[in-house]
Amino acid sequence: MLCYIGGSESEGHFSLINEACSMFAHTNPLHLDVFPSIVRFEAEVVAMTAALLGSKEKGSGGQICGNMTSGGTESILLAMKSSRDYMKTKKGITKPEMIIPESAHSAYDKAAQYFNIKLWRVPINKEFRADVKAIKRHINRNTILIVGSAPGFPHGIIDPIQELGELATSFGICLHVDLCLGGFVLPFARKLGYPIPPFDFSVKGVTSISVDVHKYGLAPKGTSVVLYRNHDIRKHQFVAVTEWSGGLYVSPTIAGSRPGGLIAGAWAALLSLGEEGYLESTKRIMEVSKRIQKGIKEIPELFIIGRPDMTIVAFGSDVVDIFEINDVMSSKGWHLNALQRPNSIHICVTLQHEPIVEDFLRDLMESVKTVKENPGPISGGLAPIYGAAGRMPDRGMVQELLVNYMDSTC
């Protein structure tokens, strides 16, 4: 939350949600009968989020349901587990496989390991979107699910959700849409007139969605929502135990006990900001994003990756080492994400960037100039880690770095 809100309005917002969190810090939604207020807060957060993402639109089915979770990773994990068990019941699939674009979040790799699902990661197309034809070629009788992002974390580009929905429908498989970043921006950007393609439950074939309330929803950290098209899919998310000596145990999420205070904080954030508040914040961050894109295009050594749809702007260079630029920017106090395939870095635009956008562009221009005039890895920065090949570290390299770090700090 600290990363996504800024300006003079942040103090009052923090005060409100902190008050809500503290008022309900003792609560635990695992005990439905003891804390009915938290159960209601969660249901209303889910309902409000679902309303944003197509639950009221024609063709959505009107049964959209879900739960709050601790973050995007848990939301994705639950959607994968539920889809796996749903497809086992529906089609008898016992050796499940899922297909995701190369740009999809690493939480799917975690889900594949946790739930024993074979994972196919398919290269994206030249526009840095999910390649529908390539995904189709990987579908077989064990496929339970395909994935799209709106937008993808690396480049801020929306996958062709409509086409993926048609593909999922034709094969009778699930389609999960990762809206962790876009869920509280895209609906409002569309209302503001931005050309946002279909991305939610209004698309036939979408069976589940993950959306983080603690990002652009401006709720306290540790709040996300997982949504399903209907109860028939969602029921596979639950774990119910009747055979142990402790009585009936039913849990809808990975965690058993959950912090009710965070649920109350998210509820307070949604109600206090409302549609007008989110429209205003979306208007501001989209304008900052466009200004940053324009500024990057004016630096001849840099190029923007694809055509960003939202508030993530990724950029690379064919002239200078982009990771060295990242190191120089880090020395100036900017924290950007390093990417690969292609080598690039990105900025995730928030309200905090609004008053300092020109500072960012000036520092970026100066960093490019510094690297161009002084080629070579910056001592102690990220560039040396990537090695002479200019690539991200592989698993072995990461393990070695962790061991070295442990040795130097113990």
Same domain membership, residue 316 and residue 190: no
How many domains would you assign to the chain? 2
Same domain membership, residue 281 and residue 135: no
Q: How far apart are CA 66 and CA 80, in angstroms?
A: 14
pTM: 0.90
In a domain, 236, yes or no: yes
Contact status, residue 119 vs residue 101, Cβ threshold 8 Å: no
Residue 403 has pLDDT above 90, yes or no: no
In a domain, 4, yes or no: no
Closest CA to 340 of 394, 292, 295, 379: 394
Same domain membership, residue 247 and residue 156: yes
More confident residue, 10 or 186: 186
Q: How far apart are CA 115 and CA 121, in angstroms?
A: 17
CB-based burial of residue 134 (10 Å sphere; 0-12 exposed, 13-18 middle, 19+ buried)? middle
Residue 383 has pLDDT above 60, yes or no: no
Residue 99 has pLDDT above 80, yes or no: yes
Domain end residue (candidates: 244, 273, 302): 273
Residue 2 has pLDDT above 50, yes or no: no
* Average pLDDT of the segment spanning 156-184: 98
Q: Write down the pLDDT at residue 181.
A: 97
Q: Write down the pLDDT at residue 12.
A: 87
Domain that holds residue 108: 10-273
Same domain membership, residue 335 and residue 355: yes
In a domain, 223, yes or no: yes
Q: Write down the pLDDT at residue 53.
A: 96
Domain end residue (candidates: 257, 273, 289): 273
Tokens describing residue 143: 């496929």
The CATH number linked to 250 is 3.40.640.10
In a domain, 3, yes or no: no
Same domain membership, residue 205 and residue 222: yes
The CATH number linked to 399 is 3.90.1150.10
Residue 315 has pLDDT above 90, yes or no: yes
Write down the mean pLDDT value for the chain: 92
Same domain membership, residue 309 and residue 190: no
In a domain, 40, yes or no: yes
Contact status, residue 151 vs residue 182, Cβ threshold 8 Å: yes
**pLDDT confidence tier of residue 382, bands split at 50, 70 and 90:** low
* Average pLDDT of the segment spanning 119-134: 97
Same domain membership, residue 349 and residue 250: no
List pLDDT tens digits, range 225-246. 999 999 999 999 999 999 999 9
Same domain membership, residue 180 and residue 31: yes
Residue 378 has pLDDT above 70, yes or no: no
DSSP state at residue 205? T
Residue 305 has pLDDT above 70, yes or no: yes
Q: How far apart are CA 169 and CA 204, in angstroms?
A: 7
Q: How far apart are CA 114 and CA 222, in angstroms?
A: 21
Whether a cis peptide bond, with omega within 30° of 0, leads into 198 is no
List pLDDT tens digits, range 317-335. 999 999 999 999 999 999 9
Residue 349 has pLDDT above 70, yes or no: yes
Same domain membership, residue 337 and residue 293: yes
Same domain membership, residue 90 and residue 57: yes
**How, if at all, do strands 224-228 and 239-241 pair?**
unpaired
Contact status, residue 285 vs residue 188, Cβ threshold 8 Å: no
In a domain, 5, yes or no: no
Same domain membership, residue 173 and residue 322: no
In a domain, 87, yes or no: yes
Same domain membership, residue 348 and residue 254: no
Domain end residue (candidates: 240, 273, 306): 273
- Secondary element (H or E) of residue 167: helix 161-171
**pLDDT confidence tier of residue 14, bands split at 50, 70 and 90:** confident
**pLDDT confidence tier of residue 391, bands split at 50, 70 and 90:** low
